[in-house]
Amino acid sequence: DTAVSQTPKYLVTQMGNDKSIKCEQNLGHDTMYWYKQDSKKFLKIMFSYNNKELIINETVPNRFSPKSPDKAHLNLHINSLELGDSAVYFCASSLIGEEQFFGPGTRLTVL
């Protein structure tokens, strides 16, 4: 059984397009996250979200928006894609204080 799943695994798109990445966790966790891993492998938090609170990293452009239809899902919507958005995006989830479980990642390439 997959704990944290993401779709799609690969996403290739043109500059200026709008795209979404979906994330689902079946672990019953209360908090979900989006991280971005750049070409130098550096990982940085973009958003963390539970049913009470959305925490946004202030460096994230407002073209990026998380959308949570329910506690098990946290999707990432990106408007007007730019070349610099090319990266691997990881979804993760956790319970309070415990380790975070990561999804397999979505490799986004903007042409």
Partner 1 sequence: AQKITQTQPGMFVQEKEAVTLDCTYDTSDPSYGLFWYKQPSSGEMIFLIYQGSYDQQNATEGRYSLNFQKARKSANLVISASQLGDSAMYFCAMRGPMDTGRRALTFGSGTRLQVQP
| Residues making contact with partner 1 (CB under 8 A) | 31, 33, 35, 40-45, 48, 53, 55, 57, 88, 90, 92, 94, 96-102, 104-105, 107
Q: For partner 1, which is the closer residue by CB, 77 or 101?
A: 101
Could you tell me the smallest distance in angstroms from the CB atom of residue 97 to partner 1? 4
Q: What is the closest distance, in whole angstroms, from the C-beta atom of residue 92 to partner 1 in the complex?
A: 8
Contact 44, 31 (CB under 8 A): no
Q: Return the structure tokens found at 18.
A: 């709008």
User: CA–CA separation, 93 vs 29, rounded Å?
Assistant: 6
3-state secondary structure of 15: coil
For partner 1, give the closer residue by CB, 57 or 86: 57
Q: How many CA atoms lie within 13 A of 96 on its CB side?
A: 1
31 or 75, CB closer to partner 1? 31
